[in-house]
Amino acid sequence: MATIRDVAKAAGVSVATVSRVLNGDDVVTSVTREKVEQAVQKLDYRPNLLGKGLRQSQTKKILVLLPTISNTFYTRIVRSMEQEAQKSGYSIVIGVTHSNREKELEYLQMLDTRLVDGAIFLSSEQRKEELSRIAQKHPIVQCSEYIPDAGCDTVTIDNEQAAYGAVLKLIELGHRRIAFAGSEKPYTSAVLREQGYRRALKESSIAVEEQLIIKGDYSFSSGSEMFERLMQIQDPPTAIFTIADSIAVGMLRASYTNEKFQKHPVAISGFDDTSLAQIYVPALSTVAQPRREIGTLAMQMMCSRIADRQLPVRFVALKHHYIKRESTFPPK
């Protein structure tokens, strides 16, 4: 591959001049500029970003860390990040961590090794202290899922309030026995959503029954299993609030499979409004996060953080909204 020196030679100028043309320095005369551009064209020259990055200590790449790509919740967030990044001359690359702490650290090496200028977490398995330490050294933004007080910029929603509102909708429909299906792992969003669930019940003078609170992971099959478990309780719930669409869909699947429940369907509420929610039968009532805004703001935070490392740490909670579809109805 051609280097800047080759171009300089071909154009009969110095490498300095080539660099100036490449970077739009307007001191060069149009004649020399023309010569250089022709040489660039002819040699199909592309600047080596390693050399450039080495010199400038930046590569204009942002690393976006996803726990998995199998959740369509991330699609629009990532897309809006991309668009926002482009405005500032950045582009993004994605690392998939599979919720594995080692894998995460491996990807974060790209910060130390200067391959990327910053990293945005959609979810993290790090401890608060570790994350805080990393954020001290590098531009880090947390997006949607987050670890509290980790000393890095965060954009999310009010998970407690969102869950509270969703459970209230079930109560308004007439439900009194409402189960909570959450996460074994204490993700912040999961913890807060449970708190919202509990508050909604309490404020409606409904006793919180610990046996109606069960936990698993975010897979369809976990949802199915949790459903079976709940239905084995003597006096099963008439409604279930879940912390994820995937769990809710797993439950709906289980309720369909088991004929016993087809005549007395259970109201099920999801979370995140993934593409699954509208396409499933029955369509899922769920909480929608402003994905576009979340992604855009996260990237804005990243860019401003890179521009000024001394900025105070910011925490923003954007507005969610509830979407009523077919999977919630009055108790039968």
Partner DNA sequence: TTGTACGCGTTATCAC
Partner DNA sequence: GTGATAACGCGTACAA
Residues that bind a second copy (CB under 8 A): 1, 46-54, 59, 61, 63, 66, 68-70, 72, 74-75, 78-79, 82, 91, 93-96, 98, 106-107, 109-110, 112-115, 137, 220, 249-250, 252-253, 256, 275-276, 278-281
Q: Which one of 38, 41, 42, 50 is in contact with DNA (CB under 7 A)? A: 50
Q: Cβ 44 to a second copy, closest distance in Å?
A: 9
CB 107 within 8 A of CB 126: no
Q: Cβ 253 to a second copy, closest distance in Å?
A: 5
One-letter amino acid for residue 156 of the chain? T
Q: Cβ 116 to DNA, closest distance in Å?
A: 15
Separation CA 134–CA 151 (nearest Å):
9
Separation CA 273–CA 288 (nearest Å):
5
- Residue 70 Cα distances to 107, 216, 276, angstroms: 19, 18, 12
Give the total of residues touching DNA (CB under 7 A). Answer: 31
Q: Which one of 10, 28, 181, 254 is in contact with DNA (CB under 7 A)? A: 28
Q: Which of 299, 304, 265, 300 is nearest to 285 (CA)?
A: 265
DSSP string, 6-64: HHHHHHTS-HHHHHHHHTT-TTS-HHHHHHHHHHHHHHT----HHHHHHHHT--SEEEE
Residues 6+ apart with CB under 8 A from 197: 163, 164, 167, 178, 180, 213, 241
Separation CA 231–CA 218 (nearest Å):
19
Closest CB to DNA among 21 and 134? 21
Q: Is 195 in the site for DNA (CB under 7 A)?
A: no
Q: Is 306 in the site for DNA (CB under 7 A)?
A: no
Q: Which one of 24, 44, 55, 281 is in contact with DNA (CB under 7 A)? A: 55
Residue 253 interacts, among a second copy, DNA, none and using kind-specific CB cut-offs from 5 to 8 Å, with a second copy
Q: Which one of 10, 17, 120, 328 is in contact with DNA (CB under 7 A)? A: 17
Closest CB to a second copy among 19 and 75? 75
Residues 6+ apart with CB under 8 A from 223: 181, 216, 242, 246, 247, 248, 249, 250, 251, 253, 254
Q: Which one of 9, 37, 43, 52 is in contact with DNA (CB under 7 A)? A: 52
Region near DNA per CB under 7 A, out of 3-11, 68-76, 121-129, 157-165? 3-11
Residue 101 interacts, among DNA, a second copy, none and using kind-specific CB cut-offs from 5 to 8 Å, with none
Region near DNA per CB under 7 A, out of 11-19, 147-155, 207-215, 260-268? 11-19
Binding mask 62-101 for DNA (x = CB under 7 A): ----------------------------------------
The pair of structure tokens assigned to 295 is 């992604």
Residue 132 interacts, among DNA, a second copy, none and using kind-specific CB cut-offs from 5 to 8 Å, with none
One-letter amino acid for residue 47 of the chain? P
One-letter amino acid for residue 181 of the chain? A
Separation CA 259–CA 313 (nearest Å):
53
Separation CA 251–CA 259 (nearest Å):
13
Q: Which one of 13, 240, 244, 254 is in contact with DNA (CB under 7 A)? A: 13
Closest CB to DNA among 54 and 93? 54
